[in-house]
Structure 1
């Protein structure tokens, strides 16, 4: 039962005989009404009113990457750098999601698909992007440069060139 100042002090011990403690109240769907936050309806008479405030639902729909997989030229500086030194861009991205920048950069030379998939998974987890582990590995195996650039553009803001992406 919600607190109502009108009934304050009526039952100082909190034991309202109409609603004994430990007894649950059942509502049928026709009895439940939703009111905008901050607006509580007034009920005439001395009947107690129960107002149940439901938490507001947040938009929890999965996100997509801000930049398309083939949107390599959204950031020309990163694109050129990745073309000549992909391990540097990969290492910087790994560092942004909490992994070792140098370790991942050097490891990318030996295990590009595996490390690429792992770091892409961390990027997705950090940014709330939908996808799968298999998709992460496949993307880094078949489109490694595009994947490195997409991951980097997702986590690093305003680095190495002006972004030309549409917002």
Structure 2
């Protein structure tokens, strides 16, 4: 009986000790896939990443996808990579019922130097503005709209926005 308990503890203990290592290996695999992508195969790579993260618990998938957004923003084909990864991340947050946390995440990366490329800022500012609008904070929505338009066309004339 003692040997059965010992073997059971050893078996389950080894599984628990390996879990963080397995999680890191999985993330490294996803990051390597993304880093090896290019403008031509990014959609195929995205579908592989999506297939893997869709089978993870929401919390783990969100953590991986947030990190992969950082990686995507630094790639030579960052605009397309970021757009695809963001849509996957948004879907994961939505399916997990954590839209508020997505909004907070967007606010946290809005001024991050990793996301400073204009095409990425456009996406971030648009999503932040849309979120403000959805929660009826029209003042902040307007400020974000101005940032969004500035990213596209340069300084905004307030008279044009105010009608």
Q: TM-score, normalised by structure 1?
A: 0.26
> Relative to total residues, which structure has the larger helix share, 1 or 2?
2
Q: Which has the larger radius of gyration?
A: 1
Which gives a bigger RCO, structure 1 or 2 (Cα 8 Å, sep 6+)?
1
